[in-house]
Chains A and B, each alone.
Chain A
Amino acid sequence: MLNYDLVVVGGGPAGMAAALKAKEEGVEKIVILERAETLGGILEQCIHTGFGLHYFGEELSGPEYAGRFIEQVEKTDIDVFTDTMVLNISGDNVVTAVNNNEGLMQFKAIAVVLAMGCRERPRGALSIAGSRPAGIMTAGTAQKYVNIDGYMPGKKVVILGSGDIGLIMARRMTLEGAEVKVVCELMPYSGGLTRNIVQCLDDFGIPLRLSCTVVKTHGKDRLEGVTVAKVDDKLQPIPGTEEYIECDTLLLSVGLIPENELSKDVGVELDRVTSGPVVDEYRETLHPGIFACGNVLQVHDLVDYVTEESQIAGKGAADYIFGKKKGGTFINTKGINGVRYIVPQRVNIEGEENLKLYFRVGQVYKGAKVVVECDGKILSSKKKVKLAPGEMENVTITTEMLKDMNKDSEIIVRVEE
């Protein structure tokens, strides 16, 4: 058994930021366990720019953003195991992992940070009729093929889902010579950032069809085409609107799912909306000593926020290790009227610092207000030019606001039109 103060599961931007913050706070023995062959996580294949504007004040590509943290990790005495798969976390914080060189390893930790990220919803999660020809894959898989492995998975492409990865891949495939025929989006709005619709679709004349989905795939060995159809307001395909589109590749960008198998095994309670752990403002789960941050906690659209969140988790874990973590009275946060969820789900009313509540809305709003209230009293109200499901928002709760709360209080965030 290897003894560590902190075991970080996952060496992407979340895991690295948490480990580095804990180191900065004085934690001595830290190890990062990473499944892939290098640190960096999904950023390694996100070669487009747009990362780091908030955190570094400059626009970096994914590998450059990751590179800055990898460099910092290498300068510390944080142990890193790559090509290493974590199999289990036990109730007393023993992390079991395996790799080719060391075989089976057990790490006894005082605290654990969960930073496993998320994965893409696969084809099997959708009900599309048709057989299983080659040429149907998630947008992230295609991204890896093109950007890491250096080959093009197809020539005529239809993309289902207008999340950011789908939009980015529409541009990437076009730049490399493929013809992207259409991006179909089930919802009446895009799930991606507006700027990606402009610079990935509009720039190249790629049409975006809203309220539209793929109902059937054609072809046996290789995809030959897809049938798309318009959907009604219940998201059901409308008979008679079907259209055949010839293509050899269908990319799916239909949602991301936090990868919480390890969390479930250890009994960490998950939030039904985020599919990530329920955490307090220090990003500690309901299981003492287990923290969570990054896409395993909630799917982010900006890595800068992942870094910010992971530093909170790293600080929280350090405080826990040193026995300094604040006890107190924890109350719940709740999103209503268009606010789908809030992270953190629990807030310490005896906390001594201002904190941010992160949330997403369920539909597009223009000129609506974000209202924060507690016990019938409005704490803040701010008008927003635009709110969209694809863009994470936040509100600040000040220590001043916390003063008037008691153990039965509940902080509510809602949209007011």
Chain B
Amino acid sequence: MKKSLICVSCPLGCPIEVEIENGEVISVSGNTCKRGDQYARTEITNPVRSLTTSVKVEGGVHPVVPVKSAGPVPKDKMFDCMKVINEATIKAPVKIGDIVIENICGLGVDIVATNCDCGK
């Protein structure tokens, strides 16, 4: 079976063809870099995405500070992660890279701040 994908690893968006037999990836073509190959293989077996959102901050210049998952999370767990992040409140000051939520939903991925807020 052949499956067509668009690589989302970077803004190039390479069109990729994956050949699958019995649920296993036989070959990947169309990618221009190694990340494309990697993307195609995980996309078929266990699709993942990096998650970016914001978290409430107390005493900050702004009411929220942007965060991201330090690594990719399974695509079907994104809304579970959103729920946890939206229930959390952190305190200013916050620096880029600060861990906001450790090991979110037990996925082994931390949620980290992507901007600073030195507080009011």
Asked whether A48 is an interface residue with its Cβ less than 8 Å from the other chain, the reply is yes
Measured between alpha carbons, how far is A203 from B6 in the docked complex, in Å?
Answer: 12
- Chain B residue contacts of A394, Cβ below 8 A: none
Asked whether A59 is an interface residue with its Cβ less than 8 Å from the other chain, the reply is yes
Known: A44-B115, A61-B68, A147-B66. A195 touches B7 (CB 8 A): yes
Closest beta carbon of chain B to A383's beta carbon, Å: 14
Asked whether A219 is an interface residue with its Cβ less than 8 Å from the other chain, the reply is no
B58-109 CB contacts (< 8 Å) to partner A: 62-64, 66, 68, 75, 78-79, 82, 86, 96
- Chain B residue contacts of A60, Cβ below 8 A: 114
Q: Which residue of A lies closest to B64 (CB)?
A: A150
Q: Which residue of B lies closest to A197 (CB)?
A: B6
- Chain B residue contacts of A146, Cβ below 8 A: 54
Asked whether A319 is an interface residue with its Cβ less than 8 Å from the other chain, the reply is no
Count of A-B residue pairs with CB < 8 Å: 84
Closest beta carbon of chain A to B14's beta carbon, Å: 8
User: By the criterion CB–CB under 8 Å, are B52 and A49 in contact?
Assistant: yes
Our pick among A48, A150, A151, A193 for the contact of B52 (Cβ within 8 Å) is A48
Closest beta carbon of chain B to A250's beta carbon, Å: 23
- Chain B residue contacts of A147, Cβ below 8 A: 54, 64, 66
- Chain A residue contacts of B13, Cβ below 8 A: 193-195, 198
User: By the criterion CB–CB under 8 Å, are B75 and A203 in contact?
Assistant: yes
Measured between alpha carbons, how far is A304 from B116 in the docked complex, in Å?
Answer: 22
User: By the criterion CB–CB under 8 Å, are B11 and A302 in contact?
Assistant: yes
Known: A47-B53, A198-B6, A199-B8. A148 touches B114 (CB 8 A): no
B63, B82, B114: most-surrounded residue (chain A CB, <10 A): B114
Asked whether B56 is an interface residue with its Cβ less than 8 Å from the other chain, the reply is yes
Q: Which residue of B lies closest to A50 (CB)?
A: B11
- Chain B residue contacts of A195, Cβ below 8 A: 6-13
User: By the criterion CB–CB under 8 Å, are B115 and A175 in contact?
Assistant: no
Q: Which residue of B lies closest to A44 (CB)?
A: B115
Count residues on chain A whose CB falls below 8 Å from chain B CBs: 33
B interface footprint on A308-337 (CB within 8 Å = 1, 0 otherwise): 000000000000000000000000000000
- Chain B residue contacts of A198, Cβ below 8 A: 6, 8, 13
A31-79 CB contacts (< 8 Å) to partner B: 44, 47-50, 53, 59-61, 63-64, 67
Closest beta carbon of chain A to B86's beta carbon, Å: 8
- Chain B residue contacts of A149, Cβ below 8 A: 62-64
Asked whether A176 is an interface residue with its Cβ less than 8 Å from the other chain, the reply is yes
Measured between alpha carbons, how far is A301 from B10 in the docked complex, in Å?
Answer: 12
- Chain B residue contacts of A194, Cβ below 8 A: 6, 13, 15
Q: What are 26 A-B contacts defined by CB distance under 8 Å?
A: A47-B114, A48-B52, A49-B52, A50-B11, A53-B10, A59-B10, A59-B50, A60-B114, A61-B52, A64-B114, A64-B115, A67-B115, A147-B66, A150-B56, A150-B62, A175-B79, A176-B86, A193-B11, A194-B6, A194-B13, A195-B9, A195-B12, A195-B13, A198-B13, A199-B49, A203-B49
Starting from the known contacts A44-B115, A176-B86, A386-B15, 19 additional A-B residue pairs (CB-CB under 8 Å) come to A47-B52, A47-B54, A47-B66, A47-B68, A47-B115, A48-B52, A50-B10, A50-B11, A59-B50, A61-B52, A64-B115, A67-B96, A148-B62, A150-B56, A150-B62, A195-B6, A197-B6, A199-B8, A203-B49
